[in-house]
Amino acid sequence: MKNNIFCVRVNYDLSVEKAVKAGKYYWKDDDITDKNFPPKRSGSAEIDIQLVHFNKNMSSEDVLKELDKMGLRPAELPELLVLGTKYPNEQKRYPIIALGSVWRDLDGDCYVPFLFGGGSERELYLIYLGHGLSACCRFATVGK
């Protein structure tokens, strides 16, 4: 890792369930499944994931606009999961959000996955996009 850039190899063909198991999370949201987060890519690739910190509360729309200006796209669930597996202590420092994978529930509310942790526990949650995103969050991104 250098300057919040993490080199990882992502297997986009790995099921969400297997990727979550590899991450050895203490807890995970039951809605983080292959059904709710179907793959957007296939194969495998070595990528750099950059964690971006804006240090202010922002809407998801504003975050996406800023990332676009920076030449970055939001990370997707498989990329977030491999980041959590390879660098398990990073999520204990701050929440890490992947805005590139969105799940809409039966009520039409949108959620995205994020890594969270504290102490010895590491967890995988979904965060509701209807509220602003906290200044403490980092956004997992990949170069376009």
Provide the whole-model pTM. Answer: 0.95
The percentage of the chain sitting over the pLDDT mark of 90, rounded to a whole number, equals: 92
Give residue-wise pLDDT tens across range 70-116: 999 999 999 999 999 999 999 999 999 999 999 999 999 999 999 99
Side-chain half-sphere CA neighbours of 73 within 13 A: 9
CATH number of the domain that 22 lies in? 3.10.100
Q: Say what percent of the chain tops pLDDT 70.
A: 98
pLDDT, the chain, mean: 95
3-state helix, strand, coil in the chain (%, to 5): 20, 35, 45
With a cut of 70, say whether residue 49 has pLDDT above it: yes
> Is the per-residue pLDDT at 2 higher than 80?
no
- Number of domains present in the structure of the chain: 1
Would you say residue 1 has pLDDT above 70? no
Place of tokens 């602003």: 132
Residue 116: partners with Cβ closer than 8 Å, 6 or more residues away:
91, 95, 96, 122, 123, 124, 125
CA geometry: angle 110, 111, 114, nearest 5 deg = 160
Is residue 113 within 8 A of residue 126, CB to CB? The reply is yes
In 3D space, the residue among 32, 55, 70, 53 whose CA is nearest the CA of residue 140 turns out to be 53
pLDDT, one tens digit per residue, over 110-131 is: 999 999 998 789 999 999 998 8
At 141 the pLDDT is 98
Residue 57 belongs to what domain range? 5-143
Torsion of CA 66, 101, 55, 95, to 10 degrees: -170
Which region among 3-7, 11-15, 80-84, 137-141 has the lowest average model confidence (pLDDT)? 3-7
